[in-house]
Amino acid sequence: DTEVTQTPKHLVMGMTNKKSLKCEQHMGHRAMYWYKQKAKKPPELMFVYSYEKLSINESVPSRFSPECPNSSLLNLHLHALQPEDSALYLCASSQGILNTEAFFGQGTRLTVV
Amino acid sequence: EDQVTQSPEALRLQEGESSSLNCSYTVSGLRGLFWYRQDPGKGPEFLFTLYSAGEEKEKERLKATLTKKESFLHITAPKPEDSATYLCAGRTGANNLFFGTGTRLTVIP
């Protein structure tokens, strides 16, 4: 089973709202990732967690706040977003952060109005 | 600067017409070259991992190869259901997994 589950599938939020994206995997993977993908562009790395600790933050604005409550769960808290933050947000996991492939969820389509 | 470049940007093939997609990389301390398939509005689906020059992997109509500077994804006798964007990604010494811009493949019946 190589399933990464993301909820919700679609989200529309106003610029003053607070919302959260959720990601779950039960493959025993110890690295989890958030990516952002705009239309017709490749995924861009936002954050990497390794063993539940933040190991990479690609200079992401503070209106995006990641959280890793345990080894199976990854959240992305959203606050005061801008319309240009509208994108497909992808979660991925891998066995480790060295040499291993990452498996992706189906993404959350976020629209900021 | 670490970089992954894919070509062509878009490719249209007749059903059964074999071809190759290219992924060129300049990555210091490459820790794996990965191929993914992505359908519109979906997450990337893992296809292959390649670690060293000369390595080859196959899956159905797809075959991935790796040299010291590039990787190829060969598609043999493609079918319309192979239409998708194919992404190449490299993992660097900093353990970042970063992607090329992809090749949009359309297979015409």
CA A9/CA A4 separation, integer angstroms:
13
pLDDT for B93 equals 65
Using a pLDDT cut of 70, give the percent of chain A over it.
Answer: 97
Q: Is the pLDDT of residue A110 over 70?
A: yes
Residues in chain B: 109
Q: Other CB atoms closer than 10 Å to residue A111's CB: what's the count?
A: 13
CA B97/CA A58 separation, integer angstroms:
12
CA A53/CA A56 separation, integer angstroms:
9
Chain-chain contact of B95 with A97 (C-beta, under 8 angstroms): yes
At B8-38, the pLDDT tens digits run 999 999 999 999 999 999 877 788 899 999 9
Shortest CB distance from A98 goes to which of B45, B95, B100? B95
Tell me, yes or no, if A45 comes closer than 8 A to chain B by beta carbon: yes
Structure tokens at B79: 């079918």
Using a pLDDT cut of 70, give the percent of chain B over it.
Answer: 97
User: Could you tell me if A93 and A34 are in contact, meaning their C-beta atoms sit under 8 angstroms apart?
Assistant: no
Shortest CB distance from A45 goes to which of B31, B49, B98? B98
pLDDT for A58 equals 87
Greater pLDDT, A51 or B28 = A51
Greater pLDDT, B96 or B40 = B40
Shortest CB distance from B32 goes to which of A99, A106, A109? A99
pLDDT for A1 equals 60
Interface of A with B in 9-38 (CB under 8 A): 33
pLDDT for B1 equals 75
Indicate the residue type of B52.
S
Greater pLDDT, A97 or B94 = A97
Smallest CA-to-CA distance from B86 within B100, B98, B97, B67 is with B100
Indicate the residue type of A54.
L
pLDDT for B95 equals 63
User: Could you tell me if B78 and B18 are in contact, meaning their C-beta atoms sit under 8 angstroms apart?
Assistant: yes
Indicate the residue type of A25.
Q
CA A2/CA B92 separation, integer angstroms:
23
Q: In B, which residues are within 8 Å of A101 by CB distance?
A: 32, 34, 46, 49
Tell me, yes or no, if A7 comes closer than 8 A to chain B by beta carbon: no
